[in-house]
Structure 1
């Protein structure tokens, strides 16, 4: 029996999880790689993003949006426990390798790479391609409730009913971020990711850009 991949309603239309060969392959890869918490979170990011995209009459490729949403947090997994890159870049590179191995056009690869790499960078994605803007918007909705009021009760219940948020999701998600980045604290400089390290590790010291400037070789 074929799985019903229709999840969230949007007025008279519905949001469906893409059922292409590419989408099925990325689903299997992420399911085998991520925790259930991250897997469900990634699908919800797609659903929130797709709902927003339809609500705002944005033109986007559901398949590309889905791939980007599914890869956006893979950089937090144990696969990258020795990486010193930003976790977003690890995820973007993984998505790029996945798409290139399946002969997806470079223009589409670039969209997905940017969507994953920029999903924690405020103020920029919303001015780029729809897929890039919607991954950030979906992630912000699912983690921090940004834009919560733009969804109906029906939509929120449908998404969370199909792909539940864990009990105490907020603390568990903070733990996922912390464990994915504690071995590469330098990668959090200039981002809000250092908040996760500061929250979990009392000994973590933030880098201050003003101190860097004032103590640079130019000032000696």
Structure 2
């Protein structure tokens, strides 16, 4: 394993003032589990881009990865928006304070808002596609064998998953949505609450159509 912690698994961590500020903000705001998860998302996303020959802005990818779960934290959670939107809004406010171009801000916003929407991010610009790829690798193991064991081990040595990451990340998703279950309609967090909250009742799309105010 490299001893240069500015570069992990061959990927250099952005070190601009903005990136450093994002690191401090996220580390202070999030749990250790989510902080390390977010960092791994950046590395897995960056390595995916390099392997697939996708040109990407490392700083935008880093911000998207670091903020993608901020909406799970009470300080950044709204009462009625999906946690992905809350995280995207927090990132947008952060980036606007640094005067970034609107297109770059939009890409980071989309990367966070869409990171739990399978099938769409890969068709968007690189920041969006690679944040989702990093999340899918770290949470679901999608593309696991496309990374070398050396890459996986070096990333996890610096940012450990811990013995109970799978249970921990599901608990984080649950706690971030349990007070606003209506935001799970039509998305994968319904699966989380169905498994972890015995009081949760999943809203069915077909029933919503059939029981709408329309008569036909």
Do they superpose with TM above 0.5? Answer: yes
Q: 1:216 Cα shift?
A: 1.1
For 1:64-103, list aligned pairs within 5 A: 64-80=60-76, 83-103=79-99
Q: Aligned-residue CA RMSD in angstroms?
A: 1.1
Native 8 Å contact 1:81 1:183 kept in 2: no
Q: Does 1:6 align with 2:7?
A: yes
Q: What SS does the aligned partner of 1:167 have? A: coil
Of 168, 190, 194, 1:194 maps to 190
For 1:45-194, list aligned pairs within 5 A: 45-80=41-76, 83-194=79-190
Give the direction of change, closer, same or farther, for the CA distance of 1:107–1:81 in structure 2 (3 Å limit): closer
In the other structure, the counterpart of 1:11 is: none
- 1:150-199 deviations in whole A, cap 9, x for unaligned? 10011001100111002111001110000000001000101011111111
Native 8 Å contact 1:41 1:142 kept in 2: yes
Native 8 Å contact 1:27 1:70 kept in 2: yes
**What is the rounded CA distance, in whole Å, between the counterparts of 2:30 and 2:88 in structure 1?**
15
Judge which range, 177-186 or 76-85, deviates more: 76-85
Q: If the length of structure 2 is used for normalisation, what is the TM-score?
A: 0.96
Q: If the length of structure 1 is used for normalisation, what is the TM-score?
A: 0.94
Native 8 Å contact 2:76 2:87 kept in 1: no
**What is the rounded CA distance, in whole Å, between the counterparts of 2:108 and 2:132 in structure 1?**
12
Q: 1:84 Cα shift?
A: 1.3
Native 8 Å contact 1:87 1:181 kept in 2: yes
Q: 1:129 Cα shift?
A: 0.3
Judge which range, 158-167 or 38-47, deviates more: 158-167
Q: 1:79 Cα shift?
A: 1.2
Of 198, 204, 207, 2:203 maps to 207
Of 2, 23, 26, 1:30 maps to 26
Q: Which ranges in structure 1 are unaligned for 5 or more consecutive residues?
A: 9-13
**What is the rounded CA distance, in whole Å, between the counterparts of 2:121 and 2:183 in structure 1?**
20
Q: 1:144 Cα shift?
A: 1.2
Q: What SS does the aligned partner of 1:219 have? A: coil
**What is the rounded CA distance, in whole Å, between the counterparts of 1:68 and 1:89 in structure 2?**
12
Q: Which ranges in structure 2 are unaligned for 5 or more consecutive residues?
A: none
**What is the rounded CA distance, in whole Å, between the counterparts of 1:147 and 1:47 in structure 2?**
13
What is the count of residue pairs matched by the alignment? 213
**What is the rounded CA distance, in whole Å, between the counterparts of 1:81 and 1:60 in structure 2?**
29
Q: What SS does the aligned partner of 1:218 have? A: coil
